[in-house]
Amino acid sequence: MMQGEPEGVLKTGTSTVGITFNGGAVVGADHRATMGHFVANKSVQKLFRIGDNLGLTTAGLVGHAQSLSRTLAAEVALYELRRGQQMTVKGAATLTANILSGRPHWVQLLIVGVDADGPSVYSIDSAGGSIPDVYCATGSGSPYMYGVLEDGFREGMSRNEAVLLAARALSASGQRDAASGNGMDLAVITRKDGFQLVPQAEISALLASHK
């Protein structure tokens, strides 16, 4: 993510990932924020819970990302209060796309979650384009992440397989992309347990077991 950058060219120095598995989805992001070639912060939050069944990752300008996360969390909560049911992943993606198409932000987002139709991942660009997929990576680290994802992803993965794949992808980007790194946050989203952060000890153990 970028801090204090002048608006003019969209920069998405970061690494975020969303992966579907059998019964749920994994979503994650690294911790680094940059100002040009300078590491401005090593513990930036780029993964947000916006509903019990929904996660958001952000790449781009920190201020825009934080503002959007607050807006989306409030809109999802209001929807659930009025309707008495959870917003679908497609609905959250459409809401996000509509917000961005009305007033473009310098961000690239992932909306990841689970609903009655199963798990899904939506990539949303700064102008409101919305694309569904079974897995996706965003930010400057995405080329390194896709090498891992395309080699390791398969339909019907288990929860632990998907968490390991996401951790490996983020670890690869942290080693090769100067704008990504300083650790990661991962969350698992299922219909039964909702949005659950993966303990850092589990992430470390999974990565160590794969070496």
Kindly report the length of the chain: 211
Provide the angle, in degrees to the nearest 10, between the axes of the packed helices 159-176 and 142-152: 150
Can you give the pLDDT of all 211 residues of the chain as single tens digits?
Answer: 544 443 433 345 688 999 999 999 999 998 776 666 666 566 678 899 999 999 999 887 777 788 889 999 999 999 999 999 999 999 999 999 988 886 667 778 999 999 999 999 999 987 778 999 999 999 888 899 999 999 999 999 999 999 999 999 999 887 766 556 577 999 999 999 999 999 999 999 998 987 6
With 0.85 as the threshold, say if the pTM is over it: yes
Indicate the DSSP class of residue 111: E
- Radius of gyration of the chain from its Cα atoms, rounded to whole angstroms: 16
Q: Is 96 labeled as catalytic in the residue annotation?
A: no
Distances, alpha carbon 177 to alpha carbons 171, 182, 199, in Å: 10, 11, 24
Instruction: Give me the domains of the chain, ranges plus CATH numbers.
Output: 16-201 (3.60.20.10)
Contact 126, 107 (CB under 8 A): yes
Considering 12, 14, 96, 138, which one is annotated as catalytic? Answer: 14
